[in-house]
Structure formats: structure tokens, C-alpha cells
Amino acid sequence: MRNKTTLLATAVMFAAIIFLFWQNDQRIFQDQGRLAVRPDPSDRDAVIFTWNSGIDVPMARRFEEAFDQWKGKTGRIVIELNSPGGSLSEGGRVVDVIEKMKRTHEVETRVGAGSVCLSMCVPIYLRGARRVAAPSSRWMFHQPTTRDFFTDEKVNEPAFETRMTARRFFNRYFVHSEMDPDWRAKLERDWQGGDVWKTGQELVDEGANVVTVLE
């Protein structure tokens, strides 16, 4: 009887700990990842979503909430990005939200002067039908890395797993995009084990078809 009571008490204690962790996560995420939304002063039929942060929870939810609020008031969504990259899983969810937007609305993506679009930011930017960037904007492409959920530290994984992760990422976000095939093939060779840095001007000069309009 005593053993059953002890086991029950232990189970209750663990359940309480898990609940507290969950509750704490909700508080942590509640006020992070603010999405700025404003009408486009140059286009009465457009609204601008500005994300000036890492790609992390709750980015996808913020975009979905803003789209639900504005989809009946506008025909064009402009997404301004300035991001060092971040979570692959959250970035994938953001891409899914943008694809949902594109079913009914025109979507444009922008990276302005003094802004960066690094790592997971690039696949999000590539979802735009019209992709605008400043010549001085900074871009970085690299193979994705696996990170620990709690510590955010890089996880050392076998080489074959790293290659598989990189291949899945490349196929999903770059092969199935408007990126120029020849430039894409060169990128795949160049990013082996290192970062590939470009400016907006260089992307256009090299014919990458990542940026479609310089301004």
C-alpha cells in the first residue's frame, strides 16, 4: 500500500513539474516576437507586416493572426524582413502561412537598406511573388544545423544525418522555388561546411533570381 501511495505521489509531482514548465513556456512566448502592422502609405490596397527579429515562436502565429485581421481589408500583403534566422520548424510554419496568404492575396517580400536576411530568413523571403531588396542588404546562406530545444546549442550529429538534413532543407526551400537553377547548383557546392554571404546587389548581378527588384 505504501509503495502505491509513493508511486502516486511521484506521478502527481512529475505532472505538476511538467505543467509548471508548460506554463512558464507560455509566459516566455506570450510577449515575444512582435509583428508590426501598418497600411502601406504608397498603396491603399496594401498592408505591411514588419518582422525585425529571429525566426522563432510565435512568428507563424503572429502572421496568421495579422492576416486573419487584414485579409478582408486588403488585396496585397508586403512582408518586410530583418532577421538573423533561427528555428527551422518555426520557419517552416511561417512558409506555410505565407502559402495560405498567396491563395487569395498578392504577397511581396522586402529586405531594406541596413537589413539582413540570414539562414532561415531566406526561404521565407523566397515565398514572395515580388521580391524587393536594397543593394546594400546582407544575405547569408548555409547548411542547416540541429540545435537542442532547451539550450539552443548546436547538436553534433553523424555526418550522414547532417547531409540528409541539408538535402531536405535544400529540396524543400530552394529546389521548389524561383531561384535560378544554375546559381542554385553553385550555391549547393559553395555552402559545404561554410557560410555564403552576399549583398542584394550581388544576388542580382549573379542572376540568382532571389531578389527580383532592387530599390
Residue 69 confidence (pLDDT): 97
Give the Cα separation of 35 and 52 in Å (integer).
8
Instruction: For 136, list phi and psi in degrees, rounded to 5.
Output: -90, -5
* Band of pLDDT at residue 194, cut at 50, 70 and 90: confident
Integer angstrom CA distances of residue 1 from 6, 7, 8, 134, 193: 9, 10, 11, 72, 59
Residue 42 confidence (pLDDT): 92
The strand pair at 46-51 and 106-111 is best described as: unpaired
pLDDT digits (tens, 9 = 90+) for 122-179: 999 999 999 999 999 999 999 876 543 333 445 455 565 667 777 899 999 999 999 9
- What is the model's pTM? 0.79
- Residue ranges covered by each domain of the chain: 33-214
Residue 33 confidence (pLDDT): 66
Residue 23 confidence (pLDDT): 43
Query: In this structure, which CATH number among 3.40.1190.20, 3.40.720.10, 3.40.50.300, 3.90.226.10 belongs to the domain 33-214?
Result: 3.90.226.10
The yes-or-no verdict on residue 28 having pLDDT over 70 is no
pLDDT digits (tens, 9 = 90+) for 43-97: 999 999 999 999 999 999 999 999 999 999 999 999 999 999 999 999 999 999 9
